Chains A and B, each alone.
Chain A
Amino acid sequence: MFGIERNSSRYPLGINPAVLLAAVFLIAYPLFASDFFTFQIGAYSLILGTIALSLTMLAGYGGMVSLAQMTVAGFAAYLMAILGTNSVGVMGLGWPWWLTVVIAILGAALLSTFIGAIAARTEGIYTIMITLAIAVAFFYFVRQNYQIFNGFTGFAGIKPPTLFGLYWRDPTPFYYLALAIAAFFFLAVRYGARSTFGLGLQAVRDNPRRVRALGINVFLHRIVAYFYAGIIAGTAGVLLVWFNGRVSPGIVGVDMVIDILVIAVVGGMRAPIGPFLGAIAFVLLENFAIDLIDRERFNTVIGLAFLLVVLFSPDGLLGLWRRIESKIRLPRASARLGVRANRGDWHPAGSSERM
Chain B
Amino acid sequence: MRKPMQRRTILILGIVLFAAALLWLVFAVWPDWLIDAIGRKKTFVNTLLNGITLGGLYFLVASGFTLVFGLMRNVNLAHGSMYLLGGYIGYEVAEATGSWFFGLAVAFLAIAVSGILLQVAIFRRMEGDELRQTLVTIGISIIAADLMLATWTGTTYQFDTPDGLYGAIVLPVISVVKSSGAPVFIKYPMYRLTVLGVAVVVGIGLWLFLNRTRIGMMIRAGVNDREMLAASGVNVHFVFALVFAIGAGLAGFAGVVGGTALSIAPGEDIRYLLASLVVVIVGGLGSVSGAAIGALLIGLAEQFGLAYFPTYGVVLTFLIMVGVLAIRPQGIMGTR
Please list the residues of chain A having a beta carbon within 8 angstroms of any beta carbon in chain B: 65, 118, 121-122, 124-126, 128-130, 132-134, 136-137, 140-141, 144-147, 254, 258, 261-262, 265, 296-297, 299-300, 302-304, 306-307, 310-311, 314, 347-348, 350-351, 354
Contacts and interface: CB of A to CB of B under 8 A. Distances in A.
Given A124-B131, A144-B312, 8 more contacts: A121-B325, A128-B131, A137-B318, A254-B270, A299-B143, A300-B146, A307-B136, A307-B139
A300 B147 contact: yes
A137 B312 CA distance: 11
Contacts of B130: 124-125, 348, 350-351
B136 A303 contact: no
B151 to A, nearest CB: 12
Interface in B188-242: none
Contacts of B146: 297, 299-300, 303
Contact of A306 (B142, B270, B310, B325): B142
A258 B138 contact: yes
B56 to A, nearest CB: 21
A137 B322 CA distance: 12
Given A125-B73, A129-B281, A136-B270, A310 B135 contact: yes
Nearest to B277: A133
Contact of A145 (B128, B129, B311): B311
Contacts of A351: 128-131
Contacts, number: 117
Contacts of B313: 144
B277 A261 contact: no
B161 to A, nearest CB: 27
A141 B315 contact: yes
B136 A311 contact: yes
Nearest to B311: A145
Contacts of B131: 65, 124-125, 128, 347-348, 351
A303 B277 contact: no
B94 interface: no
Contact of B142 (A122, A137, A303): A303
Interface in B304-336: 310-315, 317-318, 321-322, 325-326, 329-330
Contacts of A124: 130-131
B314 A130 contact: no
A144 B317 CA distance: 14
29 contacts: A65-B131, A121-B329, A128-B131, A129-B280, A130-B277, A130-B281, A132-B77, A132-B274, A133-B278, A133-B281, A133-B321, A134-B318, A140-B274, A144-B314, A258-B142, A265-B135, A299-B145, A300-B142, A300-B150, A303-B140, A303-B143, A303-B146, A306-B139, A306-B142, A307-B140, A310-B132, A310-B139, A347-B129, A354-B73
